[in-house]
Amino acid sequence: MRSRFKLPELATAVVVVIALLVGGCSGEQPPEREPAQAEPVAVPLQSQAVAQGAPLKEPAQMVSRNGVLRGELVVERRKVEVGGRKLWALTYNGSYMPPTLRIRPGDKVDLSMKNSLNEFTNLHVHGLHVSPSGNSDNIFVHIHPGQTFHYAYQFPNTLRPGTYWYHSHAHSMSAPQVAGGMSGVLIVDGLQEYLPAKLRHITEHVIGLKDFQVQGDAVRTQNLHIGASTNRTVNGQLNPTIRIRPGETQLWRLANISANIYYNIHLQGQRFHVIAHDGTPVDRIWTADSLLLAAGARFDVLVQGGPTGRTQLQTLAYNTGPAGNKFPQATLATLVSEGPSAHPAALPTSAFAPVTDLSHSAIAARRTLVFSENKDGSKFFINGKQFDPNRVDVRSKLNTVEEWTVRNDSNEEHSFHVHVNKFQLMSINGRPHHGHGLQDTASVPAKGKIVLRTQFRNYTGKTVLHCHILNHEDAGMMAVLEIVK
C-alpha cells in the first residue's frame, strides 16, 4: 500500500471549547506557549482485543430550552485524557469527546465562537438542513485569532430527527483539526416518536467513533497518513463496557466523526435494526449483520440484549481499494449482558416513518461529477479542478430536483458529501439502490460510480460538495455549489 498524502505543518493547533459546560479537565490552565512537537514515533496497531475498559461515558450535553440553545464556543488546546492517556489534543469544551448538542425541529441555536489562538477556524453542522449563508452554516467564514463570531441557526419545523455531528471546516486544516479532536455529536430529538409506545423511553447511547494517532505526548495533527497505525475509540475510550439486560432494547447512535477512516461495524451474534441513516428516519426498519460507516456517516440502530455474557462490538477489516487503505479489524467496545431479564420487545417491521421519494420527480438538470487524484495521491480533483472558494462549480435552482452521477476515476473509495440538502441514492455501479430514506454521505466505489437525486429546498446561497475523507478535501477534492432562485 502506497504512502498517503501528507498535510503541511500547522503553525499551531486550533481547538474549540464549549464554554457553557465544564469538561473533566477544565481546571487546567492552558500553557503560555505550545510545547515543541516531538519527533514522529511508531505506534503499534490497536489490538484486535484490547483490554476491557471502564464503563462507557456519555458525553456531556447542551440542550435547547424553550426552542433555543444558547452557548459560547472558545478555541483552545489542552492536555486531556484520550484513550486512557494524558495527551495534548484539540478540544471542544476542554474534552476530547465534547458535549452533544441536542435540539428539536424548529429550534434556534445561538453560539458565540471565540478564537484565542493563532490559526483560523470555523464550525460546520454536518447533515443539517439549514441556510449556508451569513452567520449560519457558512463554511467560508474565517474566525481569525482574537476574533469572536456569532453563529445563528434557525432550523425548520421539517428538520428530520436523528444523529448529526459538528466539526471544523477550515479549508486546508479540516483534517488536522478534526483528527486532533474537533468533532462532536449533534442530535435532533423526535426519532423515538416513530417507535411503538413501549420503546419510546428506552436507554440510548451515543457511540461516537473517533480515532487518534500519537506523536510524542500529543494527538497527531501533522503528517497524517490515513492508513497509519491508529487507535479507534468510542466516545474517546478504548474498549469501554456497555451494559444491557438480557432481552432489553436500546437505541445506539453510531456516528463516524473521525477525520479520514472507515468503520465496518459488527456486533458479534446480533443484527442491527436500522431506524435512521444520516439523520433521516427510514420508511421501513431494516436489519444488517454489519454496517459500513464511510467518513462522516451515521446510523441510528436498535440493539437487543442476548443471553447473560459478553460480546464484542467490532469494526471488521475493510479495504478501500488498490490505491486506498486497509483498515484492520479491531474491538471497539464490550457489550455485557447481565441482570434481570426483560421480555424482548417486538420490533416494528412494517412502515416506520414517511420519507421523501424523488424517483418519480421531474429532473431539472443532470450532471456528472468526476473524482480523481494524481499518481502519488497528493492532489485531488473534482472534474479536473482543485477547490477554489472564489469559483462556482455547480449552479442549481431552488425548488428543483437534479440527478447527479458521481464517477470515481481513482483506485480508492471516496466518501461523497454535500451540504444543506440531503440526497436519494438511486444506484451503485448501475445496480438500483433502495436506501429507505435520504442521506448526506455515500461511499463511491473505486473505479465505480453512484447516481443520486437531490432537491434544493428553502435555502439559497453558496455551499460545497466534497469528499469527506478530510485529507482529500484539504488537498483539493471539494467544489462550490451555489443555489439560486
Residue 473 φ/ψ, nearest 5 degrees? -60, -50
Cell numbers representing residue 44 in the block: 503499534
Section 77-105 average pLDDT: 94
User: 197-337 adopts what CATH topology?
Assistant: Immunoglobulin-like (2.60.40)
Query: What CA–CA distance (Å, rounded) separates 334 from 438?
Result: 31
- 387-415 pLDDT, tens digit per residue, is 999 999 999 999 999 999 999 999 999 99
Query: What CA–CA distance (Å, rounded) separates 192 from 353?
Result: 11
Element (H, E) at 470: helix 470-474
Would you list the domain boundaries of the chain?
17-30+47-191, 197-337, 365-484
Is the torsion defined by CA of 353, 275, 189, 251 positive or negative?
positive
pLDDT at position 43 over 50: no
- Look up residue 450 and give its amino acid: I
User: 365-484 adopts what CATH topology?
Assistant: Immunoglobulin-like (2.60.40)
Q: How far apart are the first and last CA of the chain?
A: 47
- Look up residue 51 and give its amino acid: A
Are 291 and 255 in contact by the 8 Å Cβ rule? The answer is no
According to the model, what pLDDT value does residue 93 have?
A: 85
Measure the CA dihedral 33/170/474/128, to 10°: 140
Residue 172: half-sphere exposure toward Cβ, Cα within 13 Å: 11
Average pLDDT, the chain: 90
- 151-165 pLDDT, tens digit per residue, is 999 999 999 999 999
- Kindly list the distances between the CA atom of residue 181 and the CA atoms of 16, 214, 292, 324, in Å, as whole numbers in the listed order: 9, 12, 22, 24
Cell numbers representing residue 415 in the block: 466518501
pLDDT tier for residue 50 given thresholds of 50, 70 and 90: low
What pairing do the DSSP bridges indicate for beta strands 290-293 and 263-267? antiparallel
Q: Could you confirm whether domain 17-30+47-191 is CATH 2.60.40.420?
A: yes
Query: What CA–CA distance (Å, rounded) separates 179 from 213?
Result: 8
State percent of the chain over pLDDT 70.
Answer: 89
The contacts of residue 408 (CB under 8 Å, 6+ apart) are: 370, 371, 372, 414, 444, 445, 446, 447, 448, 449
17-30+47-191 matches 197-337 in fold: yes
Q: Mean pLDDT check: name the lowest of 117-126, 148-157, 182-191, 241-250.
A: 117-126
Smallest CA-to-CA distance from 475 within 119, 14, 142, 6 is with 6
- 342-375 pLDDT, tens digit per residue, is 999 998 887 899 999 999 999 999 999 999 999 9
- Kindly list the distances between the CA atom of residue 305 and the CA atoms of 194, 244, 313, 334, 336, in Å, as whole numbers in the listed order: 21, 6, 13, 12, 9
The DSSP secondary structure of 82-128, one letter per residue, reads ETTEEEEEEEBTTBSS-PEEEE-TT-EEEEEEE--SSS-B--EEET-
According to the model, what pLDDT value does residue 52 have?
A: 74
